[in-house]
Chain A
Amino acid sequence: MAENTDTAEQQKVRNLVRMAQKGDDRAFEKLYQLFFPRLSRFVSYRVSHKETTEDILSHVFIKAWQALQDQVQIASFNSWVFTVARNLVIDHYRTRKEFADLTELENFIEYEDNVIEVIDLDIKTKELLAAMRHLTSDQQQVLRLKLIEGLDNEEIGAIIDKNPGTVRVIQHRAIVSLKKYLVPK
């Protein structure tokens, strides 16, 4: 198609994909090394837990390997892997228990041993979590996924089955609500 407008980088990827499709393990490994840094940043921005991030990343590449094996026609490997990664992140949140119980969040903040900066569960945070309990389940989810986990409106929409516009509305209402419940300084 637009092979002559490809950058050298894109051409390199294209070649590696072609070789990997023929069963060249080295080409596959090179693809891994090429894409790992960016994909790793992409996923860990959205998933705070290290091991989960590593699981998701490995699944992305396992799927990639299988697709290459099955000779699936991939127009742009770059777009493809990021789409897969995004969907796996969404699936991860979808399959977790309903985030109605805030104790999960509390545990996460206190005991997460991947946390680089140890966050003390200070009074303010406790207040905050207590206030959040007053929100609806959807509102809690949206605030958590958006503000803490770092997903965008489309991704959140895919997780809680709402369209992105609705997510924005929920976000607004949640914050207004939360404001009310917080102890005034």
Chain B
Amino acid sequence: MARQKHEEILDKYIKELRHGESVDRILERQPKNSTLADNLKTASLLTSLRTKPANADSKTVWSKIQAGIKENLTQEATAHVFHLFRFALSRATVAIVTILVAVGLVNATAVTAQSSVPGETLYPIKKTVERIQLAFTVDETKKTEVRLKHAETRLIEVQVVAQQTEEGQQNNETKTAVVKAAIGELAETTEKIGQGPEVKNNKELLEKVVEFADKQSLALTDIAESVPEAAEEAAKAKDKAATAKSEAQESLARLSSESKTNNGSENSSTTTNDILTSPTSTSEQVRGTSTPTTLPKTSSSTDEKVKKYGETDNGTSTELFIPEARFETQTGGTETTTIDVIILK
């Protein structure tokens, strides 16, 4: 009993020691107990060895975080690949790829199934690859352009899915679910475009947004007709597109009136170069990209491949993507699917 008391008291005082109290101050409050005093003094010999905590550097930590996130994403893609390969490729091929990875010749593999649509097995891979594209794009303006490109892909997917439904390639239960899912993806991706603050000041981007919103509205109107069960979702998505459009138009109007007051003559259709060469007396800076970026084009043809996974600003370009290979695979039925394999290093 007494011993337990000793332990507790000692523990309590050690806690105070650690919080910076001096031995003498702590012992003042106690009736004289030489054993306790000696114990505490002994403990303080060790606590005095304690160094001041070194401050972690926030920027260093942030770059470690970025690296870790990219690692996670590529691992995800690799997992997808192997999961797929197990079904699609022969055992020999899987064995070869596994050996290559184990030996370290291939650090990661990503499969793009650019022609895939919601509801298909390869679709999640496509989404993961898109996330990788975003993660590897550092420049905020380019990031927004990439998001816009993704949204355009969503629009194509929606149309493809709706068409498949019409032609009866999907069965009744899943067809509307898939169309609704595709519309949902479209709405979500459209929302993300507006995330960067650069959007509001970038004329070219804003015009692209307006154009895209128009295309979207047209497509969604058609789909509401051809797949009436999904009419509600289509209407909601249309509203979102309309909001995005009007916001973009507002920003465009504001930009053009600002540069009119400073400029005198501003024509409404400009290329990126025009933005840069306009007189410098504007108080509002109109930012734009200095070179037109070549973004990978998406199309529903399986012949298109992704060429580049984005650039970094500061010259230390992580250029990924070395060889491409095409694998002809045999899926369950009598069809062959072509999978484009891109090897990331």
Contacts and interface: CB of A to CB of B under 8 A. Distances in A.
A119 B49 contact: yes
A50 B10 CA distance: 30
B11 A171 contact: yes
Given A57-B56, A58-B64, A175-B39, A119 B7 contact: no
Interface in A38-91: 40-41, 43-45, 48-50, 53-55, 57-59, 61-62, 65-66
Contacts of A48: 50-51, 53-54
A98 interface: no
Contacts of A147: 14, 17-18, 43, 46-47, 49-50
B2 to A, nearest CB: 12
B57 interface: yes
A171 B54 contact: no
Given A143-B46, A182-B42, A172 B6 contact: yes
A146 B61 contact: no
A20 B55 CA distance: 27
A58 B39 contact: no
B314 interface: no
Contacts of B60: 54
Nearest to B72: A66
B49 A44 contact: no
B69 A168 contact: no
Contact of B54 (A33, A53, A169): A53
A40 B56 contact: yes
B10 A175 contact: yes
B25 interface: no
Contact of B47 (A53, A65, A148): A148
Q: Classify the secondary structure of B's interface with A.
A: helix
B192 A23 contact: yes
A44 B8 CA distance: 27
Interface string B218-255: 00000000000000000000000000000000000000
B195 interface: yes
Interface string A139-152: 00001101110100
A23 B47 CA distance: 45
A115 B7 contact: no
B54 A50 contact: yes
Contacts of A41: 53
Contact of A53 (B17, B52, B56, B134): B56
Nearest to B143: A25
B177 interface: no
A176 interface: yes
A58 B46 contact: no
Contact of B14 (A57, A115, A144, A146): A146
Contacts of B11: 153, 168, 171-172
Contact of A58 (B18, B43, B68): B68
B68 A54 contact: no
Contacts of B54: 44, 48-50, 53, 114-116
A150 B19 CA distance: 10
A128 B45 contact: yes
A55 B68 CA distance: 10
B50 A59 contact: no
A119 B50 CA distance: 10
Contacts of B62: 32
Contacts of B58: 33, 36, 40
A158 interface: no
A102 to B, nearest CB: 12
A109 interface: yes
A178 B49 CA distance: 15
A24 B50 CA distance: 41
B195 A168 contact: no
A42 B18 CA distance: 14
Nearest to A108: B51
A9 interface: no
Contacts of A112: 51
Most chain A Cβ neighbours within 10 Å, of B8, B47, B68: B68
Interface in B43-90: 43, 45-47, 49-58, 60-62, 64-65, 68-69, 72
B51 A44 contact: no
A12 interface: no
Interface of B: 3, 6-8, 10-11, 14, 17-18, 38-39, 42-43, 45-47, 49-58, 60-62, 64-65, 68-69, 72, 131, 134, 188, 192, 195
9 contacts: A62-B68, A62-B69, A66-B72, A114-B51, A119-B51, A128-B49, A144-B46, A147-B14, A147-B49
4 closest A-B pairs by beta carbon, nearest first, are A58-B64, A44-B53, A62-B68, A50-B54
